[in-house]
Amino acid sequence: MAALESLDLSSNKLGGTIPSELTKLTFLAVLNLSQNNFFGPIPVGNQFNTFDIDSYAGNLDLCGFPLSKKCGSEEERKPQTPKLVEDEDSAIPFIWQLAMMGYGCGVVLGLSTGYIVFTTGRAWRLVRMVERDWQRNFTRWVRRIGRKRN
């Protein structure tokens, strides 16, 4: 990991402070942390002194070199609670994807079961098994209700 040359974490909705451990990646030539929710001072040292402003674009709460925004007192440097940014448009497609995956799995399972049952020519076994289980469960249910009333 120490020989990592390029790191692009742009537009990932990441938040918090930029870890100072990244300064230990001495082979890092390209860094792109733009369009995230990072805040606080940009780590200083090693290759971090060589990255340009574009590497941090869209992180409005970052401060320090190479940005023109200077970091304030030690009080302001303390980490704040990360801001949770939820994209309102991302929830609906995700729900639809889940629904379609469930529907697709159900269709595949149903068609596979139907194919196996009817190609073996033993559909009557399935019908008999379902009827027997239904009757057994119904009888148990009726007995439970009878016991509760007494």
pLDDT, position 76: 46
45-20-48 Cα angle (round to 5) = 35
pLDDT tens digit at each of 150 positions of the chain: 567 788 898 988 888 899 888 888 888 888 899 999 898 899 888 788 888 889 899 888 888 888 888 887 644 445 555 555 555 556 677 788 889 999 999 999 999 988 887 888 777 887 888 899 999 999 999 999 888 876
| pTM (2 d.p.) | 0.46
pLDDT, position 73: 61
Domain boundaries, the chain: 6-77, 88-149
Q: How far is Cα 90 from Cα 96, in angstroms, rounded to an integer?
A: 10
Q: What is the CATH number of domain 6-77?
A: 3.80.10.10
Residue 38 CB coordination number (10 Å): 20
